[in-house]
Structures are given as C-alpha cells and as structure tokens.
Chain A
Amino acid sequence: MIEFLNRLFGREPSSRTAKERLKLVLLSDHLSLAPDVIEALKHDLFEVISRYVEIDAANCDVTFEQREKQVAMMANIPILGMQKRPAPPPVPPASHTNGSSKPARKASANGSGTPRRRRRKAQPQSMPQPQLAQGSPQPT
C-alpha cells in the first residue's frame, strides 16, 4: 500500500536512495576523495577526451565498481565523430552535444586488465590515475 502511494506521488523508495547514498559515500571513503572531487575528476576526464574526439557528453557515464580489494573505474563515452585536428585547445564537453543523432560509436574502458588503484591505501592528497583501456563496458 505504502509502495503504491509512493509510486502514485512519484517518491523513490527509500531503499534505492539508501543504496545510491551508500555507494557514493563508500567510494569517497575508499578513494579518500570528497564527492565533489569525484565529480571534478569525471568532468576533467570528459574534457581531456573531447580534445581529441567529439563525444556525446549527455550520454557519458563513469561508474566505479567495488572489487574485493580495489575499486575499478569504468567510463562509457560515446564518440560522435573525430575532431579535425588531433589536439585542439580544451573545450567544455557540453558544446559537443548539439544536435547530432548519429548512432554513436563507443569508446569504453573497463576493469579487465586495467591497472587499478589499490582500494584501501589512503593517500589523502593524491588523485587516482584513471586508466583507459579498450573493452566492452559492463556497468552494473
């Protein structure tokens, strides 16, 4: 009944909220990075890639998956097209979303064979190095 009412009024079940909050806070705990730093990392990652290829920023996705002892970072970044010059000056990723509806090729990175940062070693001042490798993404 409560579930029905919640659905009726568009409220998300609290268990889903709990799961999302926990995932973010644990990621932050493991990497010793504040949640806003993680957001900045994603932004910078997209920005760097968009210097070389045109990406579909609206559909970019970076997830972090818990492994037994590590965190794996997975980026799913649809590519809309190649840039004309290999390394133009940085442009904000948002400018690449305009109007293209071509089927996107996907550049992706996942954990398999990717060097990962050890999970539990706290290094407060250091930033993890995102490592990109080819592979098919399996975000959960």
Chain B
Amino acid sequence: MSARRIVLTSGKGGVGKTTTTANLGAALAKSGKRVVLVDADIGLRNLDLVLGVEKRIVFDLVEVVEGRCQLRQALIKDKRLENLSILPAAQTRDKTAISELQMTEVIEQLGALCDYVLIDCPAGIEHGFRNAIAGAGEAIVVTTPEVSAIRDADRVIGKLHERGLPVRLIINRIRPEMVRSGDMLGVDDVTEILSAELLGIVPDDEEVIDTTNRGEPIALVAESRLGAIYAKIARRLEGELVPFTTLGAPSFFERLFRKAG
C-alpha cells in the first residue's frame, strides 16, 4: 500500500512548521513507521538543520528533479532512527526551479519507499506552497494562538479545501497560564474560529530551543514532555483516539508541568 502523503503548512512563517515536521516525523519513526521528510522550502532550507543532518547533504530535491542523481542518493538517513530519512531542499536555487507536476512525481516515488511522507511547506501561498501541496493527500495546518497566524491559517485552510485536501490542525506554542488569565486565545477559540479538526496541542516550551540548537528532535529526548505530546499526535495520525489534555482547566498548569503530556 502506498504511503500517507501529508503536507505541513501554515501560511505565516515562524509558527513552527519545520520543528513540527521534524518532531512528528521523529515520533512516527520512533513508533516503527518508515518516514521520509521532504523539505519543500527551496532556497530557505532548514529541516536539515533542525534534524542535525546539515553536514551530510550531497544531493537535493532540485537535483533529483533535474535527473542529476537518483532519488535514493539524495535521501539522508537519520543516524538515530534508521527508518527516518530526509530529502533536503536546494539552498541556492529558486522556488520556481521545480513544477507542481515534478513535485507530485517525486512524492509519488517516495511514497513507494515508506509509510509516511511529510512535506515541510514554505511560508506563503504562492509557488512554493502550490508545489508543496501538489503531491499531498492530506494536510496538517500548524498555527499559534495569535491573530495573524490564525488569519493566515484560515486562508490556507480555504486553499487546501479548494484542492480537496482533508485538513487537521496543530495549535503550537500555546501558553496555558495565559489562556487561563484571558491573555491568549485558547484551543476552543482557535478551533471554533478555524472550524477545523484538531490533531494536536503543543505547549510553548523552552526546551525545544535547546534541542533545536543541538539538531536533535525533542521527540527523541527521553523524558521530555513535548516528546510525549508528539508521540500522542503520531498515534492520532495512526487513527487512535488519544484524548487531548484539557487546556484551561484549573489543574492543567500543574498537571502539565509535573507529568509529561
């Protein structure tokens, strides 16, 4: 059976698409799935850096498309998880270097090699976005509880629906204490405004800055609370009904910071 092809997108930049792609991929791979991560952000590649494979890049997505190498030659295997690979974007090329059709073909070929293809989409809704969603069968929209991110997420959700892609939502960098004091939009507010199905809630966590500095997905750090959260999201993707931690309940803060996940 061919792989699930999922694009992670947001419209707005800086909401955590790349970090989410890396960690969700790592969590899926950790659970035994064969996963390929595709960096579709041509010219501004970063997925390699977040995963700590930046020194091992030989070929990239554009070179695959142009026939300069075999697809397998461009895939970089993660050293921590053997069933996790990444196809890096080109750094010195432009987003117009490939077409939607070419992208679709690459994603299809990758689909034959694994269980999950996760596509890290560039910010914006132009050429790079259209390429990134071209080969996808479903979409995850990453947003933060901020007005600008939500408005952009809404725009992107509209575009994904136009393409007939099912959409699920990850709300990133939520701060439960701020939600409780009324200073931040809560999960229910965001899902109501965007009317999209919720896939995950990821609290704001300083630890992720530290692990990203080291090129190590937090999903692989034992005992990390975000690791447990990404593992839950991975299980939800697999179709398991994993309850969400209730945000805004009086004991949430305490529960969140004493028990992981």
Given A29-B154, A120-B162, decide whether A22 and B195 contact each other with a Cβ distance below 8 A: no
Q: Knowing A29-B151, A29-B155, A69-B161 are in contact, say whether A22-B193 is a contact too (CB < 8 A).
A: yes
A14 interface contact, C-beta 8 A: yes
Contact B193 A15 (CB under 8 A): no
CB distance from A15 to the nearest CB of B (A): 5
Report yes or no: B193 in contact with A23, Cβ–Cβ below 8 A. yes
Cα distance, A66 to B147, chains bound together (Å): 17
Asked if A117 is an interface residue, CB under 8 A from chain B, the answer is no
Interface of B is mostly: helix
B210: CB under 8 A from chain A? no
Known contacts A21-B147, A25-B151, A120-B162; is-contact A66 B183 (Cβ 8 Å): no
Q: Which residues of A contact B185 (CB under 8 A)?
A: 15, 18-19
Question: How many chain A residues touch the partner (CB < 8 A)?
Answer: 23
Would you give the shortest CB distance from A13 to chain B, in whole angstroms?
3
CB-based contact A14/B193 at 8 Å: no
Residue among A22, A66, A69 with most chain B CB within 10 A: A22
Q: Which residues of B contact A69 (CB under 8 A)?
A: 161
B205 within 8 A of A: no
A16 CB–B CB distance under 8 Å: yes
Q: How far is the CA of A18 from the CA of B185 in the complex (A)?
A: 7
Complex alpha-carbon distance, A66 and B189, angstroms? 13
Contacts of B180 in A (CB 8 A): 3
Interface size on B (CB < 8 Å)? 22
Cβ of B192 within 8 Å of any chain A Cβ, yes or no, is yes
Interface contact B150-A68, CB-CB below 8 Å: no
Which of A15, A19, A26 is close to B154, meaning CB atoms less than 8 Å apart?
A26
Q: Nearest CB to that of B184 among chain A residues?
A: A15
Q: Are B150 and A66 in contact (CB under 8 A)?
A: no
Q: Which residue of B lies closest to A69 (CB)?
A: B161
Asked if B182 is an interface residue, CB under 8 A from chain A, the answer is yes
Measured in the bound complex, the distance between the Cα atoms of B190 and A66 in whole Å is 12
Within 8 A of A (CB), among B161-189: 161-162, 179-186, 189
Instruction: Say yes or no: A22-B181 contact (C-beta < 8 A), given A29-B155, A66-B195, A68-B161.
Output: no
Contacts A2-B181, A14-B183 known; list 17 others, CB within 8 Å: A2-B183, A3-B180, A13-B181, A14-B182, A15-B186, A15-B189, A18-B185, A21-B147, A22-B147, A22-B151, A29-B155, A66-B194, A68-B195, A69-B161, A119-B158, A120-B158, A120-B162
Give A contacts to B, CB under 8 Å.
Answer: 2-3, 6, 13-16, 18-19, 21-23, 25-26, 29-30, 66-69, 119-120, 140
| A–B Cβ pairs within 8 angstroms, 12 of them | A3-B181, A3-B182, A15-B183, A15-B184, A18-B147, A22-B150, A23-B193, A26-B151, A29-B151, A67-B195, A68-B195, A120-B159
The 10 closest A-B pairs by CB, nearest first: A13-B182, A66-B195, A3-B181, A120-B158, A15-B185, A15-B182, A19-B189, A26-B154, A18-B147, A22-B193
